[in-house]
Amino acid sequence: MQDKRTSPRARRLVVRSLATASVAACVAVLTPAAGAGATETPRPYSETYRPQFHFSPAQNWMNDPNGPIWYKGRYHLFFQYNPSGNTWGNMSWGHATSPDLVHWTQQPLAIPQDDTEMVFSGAVVFDKTNSSGLGTHGNPPLVAVYTSLHKSDSVQAQALAYSTDGGTTWKKYAGNPVIDIGSRDFRDPKVFWNAKTRSWTMAVALSAEHKVRFYSSPDLKHWTELSEFGPAGATGGAWECPDLFPLAVDGDPSRVKWVLVVNINPGGPQGASAAQYFVGDFDGKTFTPDDSSTYTPPAGEVIADFEDGTYRSWTTTGTAFGSAPAAGTLPGQQLVTGYQGSGLANSFIDFDASTGSLTSPEFTIDKPYLNFLIGGGNHPISQPDPTAVNLVVNGKVVRTTTGQDGEALDWTHWNVADLAGQKAQIQIVDDNTSGWGHINADQFVLADAPALGSVQRAHWMDYGADFYAATSVNDEPRGRRVVIGWMNSWQYGQDIPTSPWRSADTFPRELALRTVHGKPQLVQQPVQELNILRTGITRTATTVLPDGTDVPLAANGSLLDITATLRAGTAKDFGIKVHTGAGQETRIGYDTATQEIYVDRTRSGASSLSPAFAGVQRAPLTLDSKGRLDLRIVVDTSSVEVYADDGRVVLTDQIFPDPSSNGVSAYAEGGTAHLDSLRAQRLRSAWR
């Protein structure tokens, strides 16, 4: 399949200081024309679902944040932008500035596409010594290092643009590209000055290979390859938008670790785009993770491994699987990885045009888990034309799993303890002839313990559905590590019900490393500048939550910063609901049986935009010894950002409730819980 970054996958209006005529002109540009029958055009940044303290462009499509940097008293934020429409395309760099990470002013287009290239993601650095020669010693430049997508052949190369007027205007470097390896999957450079090596360091993604390559340069123009990292962690989708930075462990400057962020699409914890990270060491050339990149699944009884060049007694129908196992990648297919040995079941025959099935002989389930490797298309049996692996007992499908729209095979498992002693068959089905209309499978093993997939083993910055392309601010003035992500998803991002803009960024977060169970782990919190928006109106609550209750709280509002501590008691499920009313609610809950925190947006409001939107996003989280759940919930008109256990686990989700659905409540189910404390700060809009 074509990569989703080369096809659709994938401000603040300063009106208070402008003359009336200027305001009218600005509004005319930034608001859509009224259609037939329209009664009134909303004023900018007051439209339904418009985020009130998350950056969003005045109009048109936005995706990845690019090159955030502090420069001469202002934060500069660039972003992937379509200047001509409200869906992906014409990729250029938009630009916004802020004094405080809260109040943003959208600036003129920074780096536009042209007839030869689209301008993909990258970084911005301040070349204060003018090492590049693109400015002068008296006026050193800002330099953007970006991925140039060549329109003629879809090759992705790294290129430069520079500004000598503080980021207002930009020129493309005449010597572009500065790195070209002839690849169509080589993108998203992050660049920073490494004081120890006295050179520029670049981390850039080899997306299809699930690698990050590191380069060094004395002048931003001439680059030397240093090393590669990967494949490692989650590899179920394209690797994109890497970032690399140091952080002190537990705030101790003598204990510094390096964090490598790798965004992945698809293949995140919710099956779509997400950001994973690795903690380790970087010596100026090579990144070495603390965790081993190898994984050995539990041993057991092999049902099938497709190693002898035949399907043995498996039964085939149709032509999708051919007459024998594939030896790896088939003609025309993206690189297939993750299978074991020399063979696998792979239905990418005739470029997804063929259909068929592959069914095992009967076997007896005599262990509690069936582990196997799976990849390929995401077409579950609940939808027409599935690509799936099924477990069949007595002629009925009792377990099923599909791929994640990626060629990498990954471990998964079924708990089959309740089927012990029964006869079963494995059925691999490909009934799909559209995009990703194939399935890959290998190594079916009955075992006493579950095999954990790379998604379960990986470290995730955010477990929600709407956090991607995370990148950190260069030259942050307080020495903080501040990160901004794209608050949308490639599963449905082009269909969210917003106009005249589409997409917002997450609220900026400060990162730290905290020792958890003996290992350093990322923790996150909203930057303290969020306090600027506090109105002074605070609501507090403390109450017992009997089984089956849903207790309305006085902390209503559409813009809130909530901190709460709850205790499980005997409840099976308990938590906080926001944006309640008119039959709508967004539930932030805790499931004591699975030991997971979750965000349930199935009743959050407008959710029919995509089958992938309405759902529940879950993250593993163990309560403390007293059964307490500590939460911070940042609520905007169309999003929730949930920080649990002091930011150790984070979930970010978009929601689209009615404006009148602004209630807050606490609930318990299956027993009694306790709301020990809740403090809700009402926030004001950053746009007014």
Q: Please give the backbone phi and psi of residue 310, each rounded to the nearest 5 degrees, phi first.
A: -135, 165
CA-based Rg of the chain, rounded to a whole angstrom? 26
Give the active site residue among 3, 64, 636, 653: 64
**437 closest CA partner among 316, 373, 350:** 350
Please name the residue ranges forming H helices in 377-467. 454-457
**596 closest CA partner among 614, 579, 574:** 574
64 is catalytic: yes
Q: Please give the backbone phi and psi of residue 208, each rounded to the nearest 5 degrees, phi first.
A: -75, -25
Check: CB of residue 341 under 8 Å from CB of residue 305. Answer: yes
Distance CA 590, CA 571 (A): 10
* Backbone dihedral region for residue 226 (phi beyond 0: left; psi -120 to 50: alpha; all else: beta): alpha
| Entry field: residues in the chain | 688
Around 670, how many Cα atoms within 13 Å sit in the side-chain half-sphere? 11
Distance CA 47, CA 35 (A): 15
Structure tokens at 385: 């034309």
b/e map 45-82, b = 16+ CB within 10 Å:
bebebbbbbbbbbbbbbbbbbbbbbbbeebbbbbbbbb
b/e map 372-394, b = 16+ CB within 10 Å:
bbbbbbbbebeeeebbbbbbbbe
- Whether residue 231 is preceded by a cis peptide bond, meaning omega within 30 degrees of 0, is yes
Tell me the β-bridge partners of 244.
Answer: 260
Query: Tokens 């992937």 label which residue?
Result: 80
Instruction: Please name the amino acid found at residue 242.
Output: P
Return all residues near 562 (Cβ < 8 A) that are at least 6 apart: 555, 576, 578, 631, 632, 633, 634, 635, 664, 678, 679, 680, 681
For the chain, give me the number of helices (H) and strands (E)?
2, 46
**62 closest CA partner among 604, 558, 498:** 498
Check: CB of residue 146 under 8 Å from CB of residue 159. Answer: yes
Distance CA 141, CA 309 (A): 60
Structure tokens at 612: 């992938």
Check: CB of residue 105 under 8 Å from CB of residue 11. Answer: yes
Instruction: Please name the amino acid found at residue 296.
Output: T
Return all residues near 140 (Cβ < 8 A) that are at least 6 apart: 126, 127, 128, 129, 130
Angle at 559 between CA 557 and CA 565, to 5 degrees: 80
- CB burial class (10 A; 0-12, 13-18, 19+) of residue 561? buried
DSSP result, 528-568:
GGGGGGEEEEEEEEEEEE-TT-EEEES---SSEEEEEEEE-
> In angstroms, what CA-CA distances link 537 with 38, 130, 525, 618, 683?
36, 49, 22, 31, 8
Q: Which residues are catalytic?
A: 64
